[in-house]
A and B are shown apart, each in its own frame.
Chain A
Amino acid sequence: MAQKSAVAARAPKKKASSWQKRDWVAAYIFIAPVTLGLLVFYIWPFFQNIWFSFNDVNKFNMSTFVGLENYIKLFSDKEVWKAFGNSLKYVVITVPAGLFLSIFIAALMNAKIRGKSIYRTLYFLPSVTMSAAVAMVWKWIYNEQMGILNTAIKAAGGSGHAWLTSPSTALYCIMLVGLWMTVGYNMIILLAGMQGISVTYYEAAALDGAGPIQQFFKITIPMLTPTIFFVLITSIISGFQVFDTIYMMIGKTNPAYDDTQTVVMLFYRQAFDYGYKGYAAAISLFIFIVIMIVTVIQLIGQKKWVNYD
Chain B
Amino acid sequence: MKKRLTKLASLGFVATMCVGLLAGCGGGSSDGGSSSGKTEIAFGIWDENQRPAMEDLVAAYEEENPDVKVNIELTPYSGGEYWTKLEAAAGGGTAPDVFWINVLHLDSYVDGGILADMTDAIAESDINDAYSETLVQNYVRDDVNYAVPKDFDTNALWYNKEMFDAAGVAYPTDDMTYDDFVALCAELKDKLPEGVYPFVCPVDFQTWYYQTVYANGGWIISEDGTETGYDDPKTQEGIQCWIDLIDEGYAPSAATVAETGSDAMFQGEQVAMTFAGSYMVPEYANNDAVAEKIDCVEIPTYNDIEDNCINGLGYAVYEGSKNKDAAIDFAIWLGSKDAQDIQGESGVVISARTESQHLFAEAKPEYNLAAYTNHADVAYPLPMGGTKTAEIYDLESTWLTKAYTGEMSLADACAGLKEEADALLAE
Interfacial residues, chain A to chain B (CB-CB below 8 A): 26, 29-30, 32-33, 36-37, 40, 58-62, 143-146, 162, 164-166, 247, 251-255, 257-258, 272-275
Ordered by A's residue number, 9 sampled pairs between the chains whose C-beta atoms are within 8 Å are: A30-B14, A32-B14, A62-B112, A143-B260, A145-B256, A145-B268, A162-B253, A165-B255, A251-B258
- What 8 pairs across the A-B complex have the smallest Cβ distances? A61-B91, A165-B255, A60-B112, A60-B91, A253-B203, A253-B258, A59-B87, A254-B258
User: How many Å lie between the Cα of A272 and that of B407 in the bound state?
Assistant: 29
- B18 CB within 8 Å of chain A: yes
User: How many Å lie between the Cα of A144 and that of B14 in the bound state?
Assistant: 52
Q: A145-B265, A145-B268, A165-B256 are in contact. List 10 more A-B contacts (CB 8 A).
A: A30-B10, A33-B21, A36-B18, A37-B21, A59-B91, A61-B88, A61-B92, A253-B254, A254-B401, A272-B84
Contacts of A166 in B (CB 8 A): 255
Q: A29-B11, A165-B256 are in contact. Are A255 and B405 (CB under 8 A)?
A: yes
Contacts of A247 in B (CB 8 A): 79
Say which one of B233-241, B308-316, B389-397 lies at the interface with A.
B389-397
Kindly provide the distance from the CB of A284 to the nearest chain B CB, expressed in whole angstroms.
16
Closest to A258 in B: B398
User: How many Å lie between the Cα of A275 and that of B405 in the bound state?
Assistant: 29
User: How many Å lie between the Cα of A288 and that of B259 in the bound state?
Assistant: 32
Kindly provide the distance from the CB of A267 to the nearest chain B CB, expressed in whole angstroms.
13
Q: Is the CB of B258 within 8 A of A275?
A: no
User: How many Å lie between the Cα of A188 and that of B165 in the bound state?
Assistant: 58
Q: Which of B113, B254, B391 contacts A274 (CB 8 A)?
A: B391
User: How many Å lie between the Cα of A96 and that of B363 in the bound state?
Assistant: 59
Q: Which of A143, A162, A251, A274 contacts B390 (CB 8 A)?
A: A274
Kindly provide the distance from the CB of B427 to the nearest chain A CB, expressed in whole angstroms.
11
Q: A29-B11, A146-B268, A255-B405 are in contact. Are A60 and B114 (CB under 8 A)?
A: yes
- B207 CB within 8 Å of chain A: no
Q: Is the CB of A144 within 8 A of B259?
A: yes
- B60 CB within 8 Å of chain A: no
User: How many Å lie between the Cα of A247 and that of B88 in the bound state?
Assistant: 20
Q: Is the CB of A254 within 8 A of B394?
A: no
Q: Is the CB of B108 within 8 A of A59?
A: yes
Kindly provide the distance from the CB of A121 to the nearest chain B CB, expressed in whole angstroms.
30
Q: Is the CB of A144 within 8 A of B91?
A: no
Closest to B398 in A: A257
Contacts of B401 in A (CB 8 A): 253-255, 257
Kindly provide the distance from the CB of A43 to the nearest chain B CB, expressed in whole angstroms.
15
- B220 CB within 8 Å of chain A: no
- Chain B at the A interface: SS class: helix
- Residue among B113, B256, B259 with most chain A CB within 10 A: B259
Kindly provide the distance from the CB of A245 to the nearest chain B CB, expressed in whole angstroms.
14
Q: Is the CB of A252 within 8 A of B80?
A: no
Q: A32-B18, A36-B18 are in contact. Are A144 and B255 (CB under 8 A)?
A: yes
Contacts of A145 in B (CB 8 A): 256, 259-260, 265, 268, 270
User: How many Å lie between the Cα of A75 and that of B18 in the bound state?
Assistant: 43
Contacts of B10 in A (CB 8 A): 26, 30
Closest to A248 in B: B79
User: How many Å lie between the Cα of A252 and that of B399 in the bound state?
Assistant: 11
Query: What sequence of 0s and 1s flags, for each residue 80-103 of chain B, a beta carbon within 8 Å of any chain A beta carbon?
Result: 100110011011100000000000
User: How many Å lie between the Cα of A33 and that of B10 in the bound state?
Assistant: 13
Contacts of B256 in A (CB 8 A): 144-145, 162, 165
Contacts of A275 in B (CB 8 A): 87, 108
Q: Is the CB of B394 within 8 A of A252?
A: yes
User: How many Å lie between the Cα of A144 and that of B265 in the bound state?
Assistant: 12
Contacts of A40 in B (CB 8 A): 25
Q: A29-B11, A33-B21 are in contact. Are A273 and B398 (CB under 8 A)?
A: no
Q: A29-B11, A33-B21 are in contact. Are A255 and B258 (CB under 8 A)?
A: yes
- B7 CB within 8 Å of chain A: yes
- B378 CB within 8 Å of chain A: no
- B423 CB within 8 Å of chain A: no
Contacts of B253 in A (CB 8 A): 162
User: How many Å lie between the Cα of A264 and that of B92 in the bound state?
Assistant: 24
Q: A59-B108, A62-B112, A253-B203 are in contact. Are A165 and B258 (CB under 8 A)?
A: yes
Kindly provide the distance from the CB of B197 to the nearest chain A CB, expressed in whole angstroms.
11
Contacts of B289 in A (CB 8 A): none
- B202 CB within 8 Å of chain A: yes
- Residue among B7, B268, B407 with most chain A CB within 10 A: B7
Q: Which of B83, B260, B398 contacts A146 (CB 8 A)?
A: B260
Closest to B79 in A: A247
Contacts of B84 in A (CB 8 A): 272
Query: What sequence of 0s and 1s flags, for each residue 2-40 of chain B, a beta carbon within 8 Å of any chain A beta carbon?
Result: 000001001100100110010001000000000000000
Q: Is the CB of A162 within 8 A of B255?
A: yes
Closest to A252 in B: B397
Closest to B114 in A: A60
Q: Which of B11, B114, B397 contacts A253 (CB 8 A)?
A: B397
Contacts of B111 in A (CB 8 A): 58
Q: A59-B108, A60-B112, A165-B259 are in contact. Are A255 and B254 (CB under 8 A)?
A: yes
Contacts of B88 in A (CB 8 A): 61
Contacts of A26 in B (CB 8 A): 7, 10-11
- Residue among B79, B254, B258 with most chain A CB within 10 A: B258
Q: Is the CB of B112 within 8 A of A58?
A: yes
User: How many Å lie between the Cα of A251 and that of B255 in the bound state?
Assistant: 11
User: How many Å lie between the Cα of A252 and that of B393 in the bound state?
Assistant: 11
Kindly provide the distance from the CB of A181 to the nearest chain B CB, expressed in whole angstroms.
20
User: How many Å lie between the Cα of A32 and that of B111 in the bound state?
Assistant: 41
